Amino acid sequence: MAPELSLLSCLQNYLSFLFFSFTTIFFLFSLLLLLLRSRPWCNCHVCKAYLSSSWTAEFANLCDWYTHLLRESPTGTIDIHVLGNTITTNPDNVEYMLKTRFDNFPKGKPFSSLLGDFLGRGIFNVDGESWQFQRKMASLELGSVYARSFAFDIVSTEVRRRLLPLFTTVSERVIDLQDMFRRFAFDNICKISFGLDPGCLEVSLPMSEFAAAFDTASRLSAGRATAVAPAVWKLKRLLNVGSERELRRAIRMVNVLANEVIRQRRKLGFASNLDLLSRFMSSVDDDRYLRDIVISFLLAGRDTVASGLTSFFLLLSKHPEVTAAIRDEIANVMRGSGDDEVASLNQLKEMHYVHAAMYESMRLYPPIQFDSKFCIEDAVLPDGTFVRKGTRVTYHPYAMGRMESIWGPDCEKFKPERWLHDRKFVPQSPFKYSVFQAGLRVCLGKEMALMEMKTVIVSVVRSFDVQVLDGDQPPKFAPGLTASIRGGLSARVRRRSSGEERPGHGAC
């Protein structure tokens, strides 16, 4: 029997070896096909520059290189063949994608795959019924007059009790504005959307570690989209190595925070509360789905507001004449108000120049620099560009804000007056100014975000000088789903005395 068992054992080992070899060869062959389909061999000058990163010799950021290419294009549209990506700044194309043929340009499965581990089935990563359900629920909360009043009370209280005292404490010191605004925005979104003060969360790690994990997850998830061959990051995820291992670790920590938010909301009860999470919890029993919703609204409420405020004060530090105009308007509207009083909602509505300055800042530095869709069926864009089905199509608000064909020869200047007519703010077409998206996916939190930013800007500019250090250098952006400045934004703040005149050149 022994020889027979030995023979049987050898046969089993041989078959196992054959099976393993076949599986390995099949996998490598499949990987080769995926690589070939991505066409990484394209020899056009754009693709070669992308693959070799030679563009970095002239441009600090990928978005600036794209802007350069789009300016040179007669149609304002380019193709990055190795990425299978068509990028456009043409407002007619944007309207075609976001409105005219909305059904043909969804987020798509490829996009959902890129961000699925981080955002899951959250509103920014889904189409169809799931997107419609979340949008309907969110619109009930964000669109009502009561909700906006409720949100303003929270923001104004946070500004008066936390932000302004913190600025006073650090007066004459160097701070990281970006980090400060992220902390402020995080507190606000937790209170407005979840009915929770972050101070009540019983997590074992400090909030700074969760913030770092959130930023890492955003950066690495966005990095997947820059890979020439998606099979590479998918293989790394399968093997749990490199950046994918780091991403998994960051998401695990983010999940701890999201689950704690859900646990606390459930502990406090949600049947009679009108915050966004309570509305969802009354209709959704799946905690994984709730986790995805929490992460999506944290991303929207923290990162975009913080990005908008950071870039605003970066620009304002370079333009003392804009600072002076803002302070004149604040003084006129808030005449008779105390030095530490926060502007009311009605007073904010009267500040047209401040509103114009915010829009102008986001024209040049949009919180979300680009947005992608995937074409379901072959299409021809209004500028004549043919788009094959399965192609990623990206409209680029950052580049659009720098196109002379859209904004004129002074497109790179920070000029709030371009938004004013008879001293009143006048908006532009959302397909020309696509900072808040447009069409059916237009940002639901737009008015709330503008209110939050405006409240902060009026309060800080009225009471403090903010001097950005190295403000003459163009910002370098960190990879991520939202625009953030690599290394933060260092600035020195100084409390202004009552009735103080405008500051000297370079302060705001």
pLDDT for the residue numbered 364 = 98
Closest CA to 363 of 443, 320, 419, 321: 419
pLDDT for the residue numbered 473 = 84
Assign 505 a pLDDT band (cuts: 50, 70, 90). very low
What does the DSSP 8-state code read for residue 466?
A: E
Q: What is the mean pLDDT of residues 143-169?
A: 90
pLDDT for the residue numbered 502 = 42
Six-digit token pair at 344? 């009311």
pLDDT for the residue numbered 309 = 98
pLDDT for the residue numbered 449 = 94
pLDDT at 350 over 60: yes
Closest CA to 175 of 324, 11, 339, 313: 313
Q: Which residues are annotated as a binding site for heme?
A: 443
pLDDT for the residue numbered 207 = 77
Six-digit token pair at 471? 């403000």
pLDDT for the residue numbered 3 = 54
Q: Within a 10 A sphere around the Cβ of 501, how many other Cβ atoms?
A: 8
Closest CA to 267 of 280, 281, 256: 281
* List of residues 6+ apart from 482 with CB closer than 8 A: 218, 299, 303, 304, 307, 367, 368
Per-residue pLDDT tens digits for 22-52: 566 655 555 555 555 544 568 899 999 999 9
Per-residue pLDDT tens digits for 243-288: 999 999 999 999 999 999 999 988 888 755 667 888 888 888 888 9
pLDDT higher at 140 or 379: 379
Assign 504 a pLDDT band (cuts: 50, 70, 90). very low
Question: For residue 431, which phi and psi values (nearest 5 degrees)?
Answer: -85, -15
Tell me what percent of the residues of the chain surpass a pLDDT of 90: 62
Tell me what percent of the residues of the chain surpass a pLDDT of 70: 87
pLDDT for the residue numbered 472 = 79
Q: Which residues are annotated as a binding site?
A: 443
pLDDT at 503 over 50: no
| Domains of the chain, each with CATH number or no CATH | 28-495 (1.10.630.10)
pLDDT for the residue numbered 465 = 95
Q: Within a 10 A sphere around the Cβ of 23, how many other Cβ atoms?
A: 10
User: 189-203, 427-441, 491-505 — which is least confidently predicted?
Assistant: 491-505
187 CB-contact burial (10 Å; exposed 0-12 / middle 13-18 / buried 19+): buried
pLDDT at 324 over 90: yes
Assign 341 a pLDDT band (cuts: 50, 70, 90). confident
Q: Identify the top-confidence range among 130-139, 175-184, 230-239, 349-358.
A: 349-358
Assign 498 a pLDDT band (cuts: 50, 70, 90). low
pLDDT for the residue numbered 40 = 52
d(CA 293, CA 299): 10
* List of residues 6+ apart from 26 with CB closer than 8 A: none
CA angle 366, 369, 370 (to 5 degrees): 135
pLDDT for the residue numbered 26 = 56
pLDDT for the residue numbered 206 = 76
pLDDT for the residue numbered 508 = 45
pLDDT at 179 over 50: yes
Contact by Cβ (8 Å): 305, 351:
no
pLDDT for the residue numbered 145 = 79
pLDDT at 82 over 70: yes
